[in-house]
Structure 1
């Protein structure tokens, strides 16, 4: 594991050094400039080319979710960070549960009026969704004890709501358990901010009560208008 980590670090550092001198490649240009991947990787923060916060999801998932109108929707999220900032600008309200004290402290400095950030120990983390006894339009699973969170989530999801499960390729049995409870699973495979590998962000829903902000599909980043 240590050798793999060192190899990744070496690759990243070498890539940053040689990229400015490589012949321009249209696909690499879209990836690094339009999506802002080079900047996000260098700063190790999920962000776009303008420095705007992004969820640490795959780019295909971010592109799709960015087309939906969440202005009247309530969000609940296990795991906080740039996703909290990103969605707080687009939703009616968002409640985030965080187990890491450092991330919690950082989150407190960036709270907006429609956000609620809660620090929870591991043994109460998944259970925190029970406290307010509310249901939500969107529930994000992107923190610790994901199997427990996925077990709780359906009971607290509004009709027509959506579960977003990041890094779902790591938990095929958890995803299977949601499908067995009647959810449709839509996978967004691909690369995303910061990382130099691909992964999967999945959406789960039964009925789908979300409208696009405009006609779909829109011209994607790096597309031809």
Structure 2
């Protein structure tokens, strides 16, 4: 048997041993991160949930934990993009205004949302009516979550609708096409905090960016 074959066999068994160790530490171990964050349960059910089967935003677990700790019933929240996050926010803030562009998803959610949720349907477009729905509400929001379409323009339109303690959360901010939105916020005097990690059912790092100023409602 030549050396190259021996080397390949050795590499195969080394990799197999490593995979078994990872399986034993993360999958078989019920106290591992995959279980304590309900990643395994979310994967099994195909939706983002916690260990009590409650819906959570489809964001990385680090930002979800922060929001769970810092959101409170004195806050008004606007989100571009409704879904499981809408249930989560409704349980934690005074009121939620949630914008949806998918008519099927809108019709599915509408009869299920809580009384403190205002669900709005608006077809998606670029720098048009969709991103300006927040301005049309003619009120100030303490938290704006940008997790729908046309995200750079949604950030731009959100500035005037923020309360003095308001923050903007940009999900999937690792995507290069959203960098412009972060730069626009910095030009407006916002600081930037990136939070990355695994999210429910995901297999790689996802990032959410908090755009904030002094005296913000999240205490950052």
1:40 counterpart residue number: 42
Q: Secondary structure at the match of 2:181?
A: helix
Task: Give the CA deviation at 1:133.
Answer: 1.1
Q: Secondary structure at the match of 2:144?
A: strand
Task: Give the CA deviation at 1:30.
Answer: 2.5
State TM-score, norm by structure 2: 0.81
Task: Give the CA deviation at 1:28.
Answer: 7.6
Task: Give the CA deviation at 1:27.
Answer: 7.6
Q: Distance in 1 between matches of 2:58 and 2:168?
A: 16
- Cα deviation, 1:73-127, whole Å, max 9, x if unaligned, reads 1011100001110010011000000001122122113211100001101132111
Out of 155, 160, 163, the position equivalent to 1:155 is 160
Tell me the C-alpha RMSD between the 2 structures: 2.1
Task: Give the CA deviation at 1:180.
Answer: 1.5
**Number of residue-to-residue matches in the alignment:** 193
Task: Give the CA deviation at 1:50.
Answer: 2.1
Q: Distance in 2 between matches of 1:84 and 1:74?
A: 13
Greater relative contact order (Cα < 8 A, sep 6+): 1
Unaligned segments of structure 2, at least 5 residues: 1-18
2:16 counterpart residue number: none
Q: Distance in 2 between matches of 1:70 and 1:179?
A: 26
Q: Distance in 2 between matches of 1:112 and 1:190?
A: 29
Instruction: Please identify, of 99-108 and 138-147, the stretch whose mean Cα deviation from structure 2 is larger.
Output: 99-108
Highest Rg: 1 or 2? 2
Task: Give the CA deviation at 1:35.
Answer: 0.6
Check whether the contact 1:36–1:48 (CA below 8 A) recurs between aligned residues.
yes
4+ residue runs over 6 A deviation: none
5 Å matches for 1:164-179? 164-170=169-175, 171-179=178-186
2:90 counterpart residue number: 88
Check whether the contact 2:43–2:200 (CA below 8 A) recurs between aligned residues.
yes
Q: Distance in 2 between matches of 1:208 and 1:103?
A: 36
- Cα deviation, 1:19-57, whole Å, max 9, x if unaligned, reads 9xx434488842222111012122221111221100111
CA spacing shift, 1:27–1:154, aligned 2, 3 Å: farther
